[in-house]
Chains A and B, each alone.
Chain A
């Protein structure tokens, strides 16, 4: 289990290869990459700056991974989240989950991403032709989280 918050870009192929070689019981690896879009709420986005709460960020993502391990077979998990200034087409976040079988890997990967969106202390500020503005939280992200709560019984 591995959590990294960094300004540098990441290489999904290298990360997955390392995870795969690390445990011969792995039978399935699911991954997600979040990317900076060039448009948000109808406005062109030229750059985006990500701020976070050092310490709490790593701790909260660690808790999210532990929650996923409590619900599915998770043999390994990796979350990399970038901070600093990014531009459209840049990678923002990587989630990789390894399991024995695909069902657990898919579910745990989506669960970690949905929780990260609503629980991990990151904030985006984007620059548009109208100037710089903080991005508002989306109710669709809360709805995505609610699905897992209903499913948990």
Chain B
């Protein structure tokens, strides 16, 4: 689905290394899963390539529920990327 806009959120160490907490992104054609989105963001290069690298342990949530790589994305979704959690 080309042109669908999603809200992206970044937390903790990830937010600091990217220097960004939130953005709106129009999904390019073919970027329709969490995994595809991560690859797309890594392609921005620099801190993005490092933070989104496949070897980097990241968790993600879609609409505030933990989600797996193959989760499909649609217009209006709230997508969050963050490091493994350390509460409690």
The closest CB in chain A to the CB of B9 belongs to A53
Q: How far apart are B66's CB and chain A's nearest CB, in angstroms? A: 7
* Given A53-B82, A56-B61: A93 touches B87 (CB 8 Å cut-off): yes
Q: How far apart are A137's CB and chain B's nearest CB, in angstroms? A: 4
* C-alpha gap A62/B1 in the complex (Å): 32
- Cβ of A50: which chain B residues have Cβ within 8 Å of it? 87
Which of B57, B80, B84, B88 contacts A53, CB < 8 Å? Answer: B80
Number of B residues near A (Cβ < 8 Å) is 17
* Given A121-B11, A123-B11: A56 touches B86 (CB 8 Å cut-off): no
Within 8 A of B (CB), among A69-102: 81, 92-93
B86 adjacent to A53 (CB under 8 Å)? no
The closest CB in chain A to the CB of B63 belongs to A56
B12 adjacent to A134 (CB under 8 Å)? yes
State the main secondary structure of chain A at its contact with B: mixed
* Given A53-B11, A121-B11, A125-B12: A137 touches B86 (CB 8 Å cut-off): yes
A55 adjacent to B64 (CB under 8 Å)? yes
Which of B12, B64, B88 contacts A51, CB < 8 Å? Answer: B12
The closest CB in chain B to the CB of A95 belongs to B88
* C-alpha gap A75/B60 in the complex (Å): 32
The closest CB in chain B to the CB of A134 belongs to B13
* C-alpha gap A125/B65 in the complex (Å): 23
* C-alpha gap A100/B64 in the complex (Å): 33
B11 adjacent to A137 (CB under 8 Å)? no
Q: Which residues of B contact A (CB under 8 A)?
A: 9, 11-13, 57, 61, 64-66, 80, 82-88
Chain A to chain B: the 8 pairs with minimum beta-carbon distance, closest first: A122-B87, A137-B84, A123-B12, A56-B64, A117-B88, A134-B13, A135-B86, A124-B86
Q: Which residues of A contact B (CB under 8 A)?
A: 34, 50-53, 55-56, 59-60, 81, 92-93, 113, 116-125, 134-138
